[in-house]
Chain A
């Protein structure tokens, strides 16, 4: 029988990993990592899983070993955060290019400098072009559910891509909540047994992976990799439906909350969406037609679907928990506005950068974003497209001695 019990986000992820029972976990759990790997290592030590746990000497080595173990023919998982993900950088691209469905939990935490280990999306946003599927969770239940689905999505034969299953540092990873834990059997049935595609350990059919690939073929290979992301999008939808049929919780590319008849809306990723739902509910009670689009899948980016869902709005605020310095707004803003433009949808949009380095976002601050949107809708365009939410400003002239630049 499925059990509902209070569990911390990190434990919920480790519990899903225990149920999935991967062949290999190669990890280097050090600050800023989380208790995910620590908890899972205990399962290995207690003999609750059959996993071969490889303790390596860095996060770079961790992802190298994960990619190699997947190439050998194993189902491979790992978890990391922040600078740990950054150190995997070089290998992340290789994992995706080799089409290895490694499943990586990322507890979203800030990148230095200055030194900070609290929640923001800088780590995974930095990895957005590496070729990994990225799925974001709002709460502990979604973190657990997404990880189980990630295995089925990444391993689908026409997808074969690595997946990052993302949850917000501390706000979700260290949050105790009621989690519905499904039966071990049911989870194992759902993910099925792993079918390696071209395992290196199949010595009767030797092959080479990752060789020198210069201007004669590299470009063709990269174009062919591009083609994997359309089936990936469909796989995310299909697996979400199958999950709903099996476990009764439905998932898609994004969740629309009160969006049908909304005039103004926020687009957000991760845990902020929960607080935004409360804000929408209180605004609806006073007659404001507010809505929310909680984006679940950032890679592959559902550009057409998003544009269709947002096209009728009078104004939209796109909330980024990451900055793209010198860019055209935050990463989410740039892609959502691009999607709207390509679809010919003329919706005035503002970009709200919030929550960097763990700065919390309060319901009142979200309500203020909707108030701004009401004004933008009325005036037809924003007077200031970029807003920083919940950040203090200091008078630079008054404190000139404290500023180096």
Chain B
């Protein structure tokens, strides 16, 4: 039977959940995994809730529907905690990472006390201080590198360069690397 890890990102249009999913897929592909990443938009506009899905597997991925039972959930916007129920369907002992200044204990309650590990990091603050604007997607990759084995720091950096290197100037790429490192260091569990 195939071994597959499913990661579900919850964000709002413009926060970069789709791009983060693609970066994760690129990093995993670089490590030799089969990958699939695609977004699911609601209204397809800035600010509207959306999801992006990433599957990482040791064999070709044929399944093509949204992820309902993820191993990992990443929440880019804490205002989605109640409205989107991001913990829905998460596997037992799964991992939930939330971009928030609140502690994991506070977040646990808002998530409805799921049987998953909860981690938090203030990715918005980190990105403001490093990149200069609220762009929580790349720091959340750093947090993901710390709390899971789907990617590591170096893989995250390489994939960010691969995906964004042509679009962004070098100083912004370096700022993203700094954001990734800081989120890696600052993400905390209960």
Residue positions of A touching B, CB distance < 8 A:
5-6, 8, 117-118, 139, 168, 170-172, 174-178, 271-272, 274-275, 277-278, 360-363
Known: A5-B29, A170-B38, A174-B38. A274 touches B22 (CB 8 A): no
Closest 9 pairs (CB-CB, A-B) = A274-B62, A175-B38, A176-B37, A6-B29, A271-B64, A176-B25, A360-B65, A274-B64, A277-B62
B25 contacts A274, C-beta separation under 8 Å = no
Please give, as numbers and ranges, the residues of chain B lying within 8 Å of A274 by CB-CB distance: 62-64
B29 contacts A278, C-beta separation under 8 Å = no
Please give, as numbers and ranges, the residues of chain B lying within 8 Å of A171 by CB-CB distance: 38, 64
B64 contacts A178, C-beta separation under 8 Å = no
**C-alpha gap A391/B38 in the complex (Å):** 23
Indicate if B13 sits at the interface (CB-CB under 8 A).
Answer: no
Known: A6-B25, A170-B40, A176-B22. A272 touches B35 (CB 8 A): no
Tell me which of A117, A177, A360 contacts B36 (CB under 8 A). A177
Of the A-B pairs whose beta carbons lie under 8 Å apart in the complex, a sample of 5, sorted by A's number, is A8-B22, A176-B22, A272-B64, A275-B64, A278-B63
Shortest distance from the beta carbon of B61 to any chain A beta carbon, whole Å = 8
Indicate if B26 sits at the interface (CB-CB under 8 A).
Answer: yes
The size class of the interface chain B forms with chain A is 20 to 34
Indicate if B34 sits at the interface (CB-CB under 8 A).
Answer: yes
B44 contacts A117, C-beta separation under 8 Å = yes
**C-alpha gap A272/B62 in the complex (Å):** 9
List 5 other contacts, CB 8 Å, given A139-B62, A278-B62.
A117-B44, A139-B64, A174-B38, A360-B65, A363-B63
Shortest distance from the beta carbon of B37 to any chain A beta carbon, whole Å = 4
Please give, as numbers and ranges, the residues of chain A lying within 8 Å of B37 by CB-CB distance: 175-177
Shortest distance from the beta carbon of A241 to any chain B beta carbon, whole Å = 23
Indicate if B136 sits at the interface (CB-CB under 8 A).
Answer: no
**C-alpha gap A43/B66 in the complex (Å):** 32
Annotate B9-26 by CB proximity to A: 1 below 8 A, 0 otherwise: 000000000100110011
A178 contacts B34, C-beta separation under 8 Å = yes
Shortest distance from the beta carbon of A117 to any chain B beta carbon, whole Å = 7
A362 contacts B35, C-beta separation under 8 Å = no
**C-alpha gap A363/B67 in the complex (Å):** 11
Tell me which of A117, A172, A360 contacts B66 (CB under 8 A). A360
Please give, as numbers and ranges, the residues of chain B lying within 8 Å of A362 by CB-CB distance: 65-66, 68
**C-alpha gap A170/B21 in the complex (Å):** 14
A176 contacts B65, C-beta separation under 8 Å = no
Indicate if B94 sits at the interface (CB-CB under 8 A).
Answer: no
**C-alpha gap A178/B68 in the complex (Å):** 23
Q: Is the interface of B mostly helix, strand, loop or mixed?
A: mixed
Shortest distance from the beta carbon of B48 to any chain A beta carbon, whole Å = 13
Annotate B123-155 by CB proximity to A: 1 below 8 A, 0 otherwise: 000000000000000000000000000000000
A177 contacts B35, C-beta separation under 8 Å = yes
**C-alpha gap A175/B40 in the complex (Å):** 10
**C-alpha gap A6/B36 in the complex (Å):** 9
Please give, as numbers and ranges, the residues of chain A lying within 8 Å of B64 by CB-CB distance: 139, 168, 171-172, 175, 271-272, 274-275
**C-alpha gap A170/B44 in the complex (Å):** 12
**C-alpha gap A74/B122 in the complex (Å):** 56
A176 contacts B63, C-beta separation under 8 Å = no
A275 contacts B63, C-beta separation under 8 Å = yes
**C-alpha gap A108/B40 in the complex (Å):** 15
**C-alpha gap A120/B41 in the complex (Å):** 15
Chain A CB within 10 Å — which of B34, B37, B62 has the most? B62
Please give, as numbers and ranges, the residues of chain B lying within 8 Å of A175 by CB-CB distance: 36-38, 64
Please give, as numbers and ranges, the residues of chain A lying within 8 Å of B38 by CB-CB distance: 170-171, 174-176
Please give, as numbers and ranges, the residues of chain A lying within 8 Å of B39 by CB-CB distance: 170, 174
Please give, as numbers and ranges, the residues of chain B lying within 8 Å of A272 by CB-CB distance: 64
A275 contacts B25, C-beta separation under 8 Å = no
Shortest distance from the beta carbon of B42 to any chain A beta carbon, whole Å = 10
**C-alpha gap A275/B68 in the complex (Å):** 14
A178 contacts B35, C-beta separation under 8 Å = yes
Please give, as numbers and ranges, the residues of chain A lying within 8 Å of B65 by CB-CB distance: 275, 360-363
**C-alpha gap A139/B29 in the complex (Å):** 17
**C-alpha gap A275/B25 in the complex (Å):** 20
Please give, as numbers and ranges, the residues of chain B lying within 8 Å of A5 by CB-CB distance: 29
Please give, as numbers and ranges, the residues of chain A lying within 8 Å of B21 by CB-CB distance: 176
Shortest distance from the beta carbon of B162 to any chain A beta carbon, whole Å = 9
A6 contacts B26, C-beta separation under 8 Å = yes
A170 contacts B41, C-beta separation under 8 Å = yes
**C-alpha gap A174/B44 in the complex (Å):** 13
Please give, as numbers and ranges, the residues of chain A lying within 8 Å of B29 by CB-CB distance: 5-6, 178
Please give, as numbers and ranges, the residues of chain B lying within 8 Å of A178 by CB-CB distance: 29, 34-35
Question: Which residue on chain A has the smallest CB distance to residue B23?
Answer: A176
**C-alpha gap A278/B4 in the complex (Å):** 13
Shortest distance from the beta carbon of A375 to any chain B beta carbon, whole Å = 24
Question: Which residue on chain B has the smallest CB distance to residue A118?
Answer: B41
B36 contacts A176, C-beta separation under 8 Å = yes
Please give, as numbers and ranges, the residues of chain B lying within 8 Å of A172 by CB-CB distance: 64
Question: Which residue on chain A has the smallest CB distance to residue B21?
Answer: A176
Please give, as numbers and ranges, the residues of chain B lying within 8 Å of A6 by CB-CB distance: 22, 25-26, 29, 35
Shortest distance from the beta carbon of A249 to any chain B beta carbon, whole Å = 12
State which residues 51-72 of B face A: CB under 8 Å.
61-66, 68
**C-alpha gap A360/B38 in the complex (Å):** 13
Please give, as numbers and ranges, the residues of chain A lying within 8 Å of B35 by CB-CB distance: 6, 176-178
**C-alpha gap A8/B25 in the complex (Å):** 11
Shortest distance from the beta carbon of B65 to any chain A beta carbon, whole Å = 5
